[in-house]
């Protein structure tokens, strides 16, 4: 089991501050990238004035915070992610999450980048699992089920319909790695682990808590309590 803090940053400084808060307790951190098209909200680097900071990271002039110690995954909540996919790889992200609703060229992305970075498919609650089957067959590394009805908003309520989607996929592909992002907290995390989830992505449950260290530790303890 892996607990992955999720950061939905307004600027690069926010990434640095939040990574600093959790870097001693986790191995992987997710950065939510939102262009305001696939989702209504924006995040870094799509806020005005943030383009230069991304260009510095993508060019290698500036590294992601504590990049020697932390693995980063980019949750690309953007339209047509294939257009800028290479730039995000150059920026130092080890895992790339592409939303199946965002592109008609997912299989092209897999063909070009499989083996270079770990590639996952994110899927919304209301999108049929059938779209995942050919991707898994072609070597998709993992699936990220969205645990909320409307993506792009940290703190949204958990949608229990995700359990049916998890069960359905695992019946077809019992060895697939499953991540859940959205609405994950200490109350529903044990249920998700028992359902077969390997990775728990949590934003507000961690960064909105009184102690990120204690909260992450409580998440980690859940692995020994599940059956």
pLDDT digits (tens, 9 = 90+) for 189-217: 999 999 999 999 999 999 999 999 999 99
Answer positive or negative: Cα dihedral of 105, 106, 107, 113: positive
The string of DSSP letters for 113-150 reads HBTTBEEEEEE-TTS-GGGGHHHHHTT--EEEEE-SSS
User: How far apart, in whole angstroms, are the C-alpha atoms of residue 146 and residue 199?
Assistant: 12
% of the chain beyond a pLDDT of 70: 98
| Distances 190 to 185, 187, 226 between C-alpha atoms, Å | 9, 7, 6
**Which pair of tokens denotes residue 155?**
């703190």
CB atoms within 10 A of CB 113: 17
Q: What is the pLDDT at residue 80?
A: 98
Query: Over the range 80-96, which residues count as b (16 or more CB within 10 Å of their CB) and which as e?
Result: ebbebbeebbebbbebb
Mean pLDDT of 23-52: 95
Is the peptide bond preceding residue 45 cis, with omega within 30 degrees of 0? yes
Cα torsion angle, 146, 151, 153, 155, sign: negative
Q: Write down the pLDDT at residue 203.
A: 96
| Distance in angstroms (rounded) separating the CA atoms of residues 13 and 69 | 18
**Band of the pLDDT at 225, cuts 50, 70, 90?**
low
Show the domains of the chain with their CATH numbers.
2-225 (3.20.20.70)
Give the pLDDT of residue 154: 83
Q: What angle do CA 38, 1, 194 make, to 5 degrees?
A: 90
pTM of the model: 0.95
Tens-digit pLDDT profile for residues 151-204: 988 888 999 999 999 999 999 999 999 999 999 999 999 999 999 999 999 999
Mean pLDDT over each residue of the chain, to the nearest integer = 96
Looking at residue 155, its pLDDT comes to 83
């Amino acid at each position: 089991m892996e607990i992955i803090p999720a950061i939905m940053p307004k600027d690069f400084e926010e990434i640095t501050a939040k990574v600093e808060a959790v870097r001693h307790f986790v191995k992987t951190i997710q950065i939510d990238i939102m262009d305001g098209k696939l989702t209504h909200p924006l995040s870094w680097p799509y806020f005005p004035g943030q383009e230069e900071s991304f260009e510095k990271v993508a060019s290698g002039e500036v590294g992601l915070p504590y990049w020697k110690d932390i693995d980063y995954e980019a949750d690309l909540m953007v339209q047509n992610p294939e257009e800028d996919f290479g730039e995000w790889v150059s920026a130092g992200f080890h895992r790339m999450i592409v939303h199946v609703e965002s592109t008609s060229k997912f299989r092209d992305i897999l063909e070009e980048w499989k083996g270079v970075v770990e590639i996952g498919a994110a899927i919304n609650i209301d999108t049929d699992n059938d779209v995942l089957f050919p991707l898994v067959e072609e070597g998709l590394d993992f699936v990220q089920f969205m645990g909320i009805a409307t993506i792009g908003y940290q703190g949204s309520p958990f949608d229990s319909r995700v359990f049916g989607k998890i069960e359905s996929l695992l019946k077809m592909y019992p060895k697939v790695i499953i991540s859940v992002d959205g609405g994950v907290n200490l109350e529903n995390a044990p249920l998700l682990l028992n359902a077969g989830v390997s990775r728990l992505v949590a934003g507000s449950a961690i960064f909105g808590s009184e102690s990120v260290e204690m909260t992450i530790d409580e998440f980690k303890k859940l692995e020994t309590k599940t059956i």
